[in-house]
């Protein structure tokens, strides 16, 4: 669970952090330990582990050797003290909230958090008498004013899903510190390669590992990293609530993370090239990408991110029919509710991030009905641009 922040470059860290070994049987990689439980030769040695006098594992809902390596790697990449792993990103997010909040407390967050997170704030937390105030995402003064009114937890996400709004983590974390609130940042879109919320003042960083961290669209997982004292509480909740990550999934995520730096370089470059190509295109109304100088959050993004990420969004001219035409014509995309894979993925929020919302609610949230979210994969940028061109050419 505990990681050390090795002072090495991102690519070196992605490969080596927490995986220097030695591993059982002299294996070159951490094996998948598919054990539900761990057996001891005698009661004394079992007792010493169970009471924390010796290190070891008791039962895989509580801890597992393969999962523990993934947790240590996450902490190292995020530059935090510790991490704990979950079965999905939503399990990680809901566990943070249910582990740390009590009835009568209040969360301050943004309107543009991921759709599932929004549902937690609006439907589930109120049932436990925990209020969530969702502020205009880019109105920093309004968010600061809400924080100053008193809150237990500030929950941020940047860039946001799917309209790529940017929030100043450092500025809002300072306001939260003054109010004594815990700061949580969803770093799924950025990954530690592009942005480290902990260095900007966040107490906890949460990731859907299903996306860029794993990177191959073949596994689900969630990770939370941050201050050891908070991670211990969240980990304890996981032990009891049981949304533990399986060792098989931990292995797949670990394998993906070894190429995180390499992949993110290409995701960043492809998304930037495509966003530049589409900006000002005759058949596109708007392009949403924080790497464009015209993006309202570009200055903040340039300060707090080292790359702008692999996801962009755009609105083809011609309403939802244009979305249908373009999506159906694209050849180098997976039409799927997903992002962050090596293959390009595209879809409209109606069937992806905001499937739970009505058309009216999406309009209220500022999500255009003709928006396409486009997660640029690691293919050749020229091929992706040519594919977009042939699809856009069919629009009237
Ligand atoms: C920003 C963000 N956070 C959290 C999640 C939830 O992650 P998962 O699908 O792994 O539960 C997603 C999923 O799309 C996401 O995009």
**DSSP assignment, residue 244?**
B
pLDDT at 7: 65
pLDDT at 357: 75
Residue 160: both structure tokens together: 């946001």
Q: What is the mean pLDDT of each run of 10 residues along the chain (396 residues)?
A: 58 96 96 98 98 97 98 98 98 98 98 93 97 98 98 98 96 98 98 98 98 98 98 98 98 98 98 97 97 98 98 96 97 97 95 79 86 98 98 93
Residue 328: both structure tokens together: 């159906």
Q: How far apart, in whole angstroms, are the C-alpha atoms of residue 71 and residue 49?
A: 20
- The sheet that has 311-316: what strands, in order across it? 284-288, 311-316, 372-375, 345-347, 334-335
Domains of the chain: 10-257 (3.40.640.10), 260-392 (3.90.1150.10)
Catalytic residue check, 61: yes
Catalytic residue check, 283: no
Q: For the whole model, what pTM was predicted? A: 0.96
Pocket test for ligand 1, best of 186, 208, 367 (most atoms within 8 A of CB): 208
Among residues 106, 114, 155, 203, which one is catalytic?
114
Residue 90 Cα: closest atom of ligand 1: 11
Distance from the CA of 89 to the center of ligand 1, in angstroms? 5
Q: How far apart, in whole angstroms, are the C-alpha atoms of residue 375 and residue 340?
A: 6
Among residues 186, 238, 258, 373, which one is catalytic?
186
| CB 95 less than 6 A from any atom of ligand 1 | no
Say if CB 224 and CB 230 are below 8 A apart. Answer: no
pLDDT at 364: 80
pLDDT at 143: 98
pLDDT at 121: 98
pLDDT at 1: 38
Residue with CA at minimum distance from ligand 1 atom 12: 208
| CB 88 less than 6 A from any atom of ligand 1 | yes
Q: How far apart, in whole angstroms, are the C-alpha atoms of residue 155 and residue 117?
A: 10
Query: What three-state secondary structure class fits 30?
Result: coil
Catalytic residue check, 106: no
Distance from the CA of 90 to the center of ligand 1, in angstroms? 6
pLDDT at 69: 98
Distance from the CA of 230 to the center of ligand 1, in angstroms? 21
| DSSP secondary structure string for all residues of 291-321 | TSTTSTTHHHHHHH-SS--SEEEEEESSHHH
CB atoms within 10 A of CB 173: 22
Catalytic residue check, 211: yes
| CB 341 less than 6 A from any atom of ligand 1 | no
CB-neighbour burial class of residue 180 (10 A; exposed 0-12, middle 13-18, buried 19+): exposed
pLDDT at 350: 82
Q: Alpha carbon 190 to chain centroid distance?
A: 7
Say if CB 224 and CB 96 are below 8 A apart. Answer: yes
Range 324-327, long-range pairs (CB < 8 A, 24+ positions): 325/391, 325/394, 325/395, 326/372, 326/388, 326/391, 326/392, 326/394, 326/395, 327/372, 327/391
| CB 205 less than 6 A from any atom of ligand 1 | no
Q: How far apart, in whole angstroms, are the C-alpha atoms of residue 274 and residue 316?
A: 14
Query: What phi and psi, each to the nearest 5 degrees, are found at residue 312?
Result: -135, 170
Please report the beta strands in 68-166, taking only residues with DSSP state E, as ranges in sequence order: 82-86, 106-110, 131-135, 153-157
């Amino acid at each position: 669970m505990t990681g050390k922040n090795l002072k090495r470059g991102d690519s070196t860290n992605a490969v080596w952090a927490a995986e220097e070994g030695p591993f059982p049987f002299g294996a070159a990689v951490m094996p998948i330990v598919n054990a539900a439980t761990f057996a001891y030769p005698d009661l004394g040695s079992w007792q010493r582990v169970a009471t924390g006098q010796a290190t070891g594992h008791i039962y895989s809902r509580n801890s597992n050797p393969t999962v523990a390596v993934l947790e240590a790697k996450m902490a190292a990449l995020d530059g935090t003290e510790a991490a704990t792993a979950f079965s999905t990103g939503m399990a990680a997010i809901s566990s943070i909230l249910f582990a740390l909040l009590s009835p009568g407390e209040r969360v301050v967050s943004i309107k543009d958090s991921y759709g599932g997170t929004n549902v937690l704030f609006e439907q589930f937390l109120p049932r436990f008498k925990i209020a969530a105030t969702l502020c205009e995402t880019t109105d920093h003064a309004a968010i600061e004013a809400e924080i100053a009114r008193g809150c237990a937890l500030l929950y941020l996400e940047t860039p946001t899903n799917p309209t790529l709004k940017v929030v100043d983590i450092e500025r809002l974390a300072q306001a939260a510190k003054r109010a004594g609130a815990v700061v949580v940042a969803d770093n799924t879109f950025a990954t530690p390669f592009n942005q480290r919320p902990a260095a900007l003042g966040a107490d906890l960083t949460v990731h859907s590992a299903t996306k860029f961290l794993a990177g191959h669209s073949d596994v689900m997982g969630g990770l939370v990293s941050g201050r050891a004292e908070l991670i211990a509480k969240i980990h304890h909740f996981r032990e009891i609530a049981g949304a533990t990550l399986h060792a098989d999934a931990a292995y797949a995520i670990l394998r993906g993370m070894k190429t995180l730096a390499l992949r993110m370089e290409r995701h960043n470059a492809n998304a930037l090239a495509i966003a530049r190509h589409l900006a000002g295109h005759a058949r596109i109304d708007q392009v949403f990408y924080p790497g464009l100088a015209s993006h309202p959050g570009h200055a903040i993004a340039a300060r707090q991110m080292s790359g702008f990420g692999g996801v962009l969004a755009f609105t083809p001219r011609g309403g939802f029919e244009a979305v249908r035409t373009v999506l159906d014509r694209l050849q180098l995309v997976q039409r799927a509710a997903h992002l962050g894979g090596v293959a390009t993925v595209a879809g409209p929020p109606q069937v992806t991030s905001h499937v739970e919302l009505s058309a009216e609610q999406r309009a209220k949230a500022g999500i255009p009905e003709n928006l396409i979210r486009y997660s640029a994969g690691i293919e050749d940028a020229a091929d992706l641009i040519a594919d977009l061109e042939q699809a856009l050419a069919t629009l009237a």
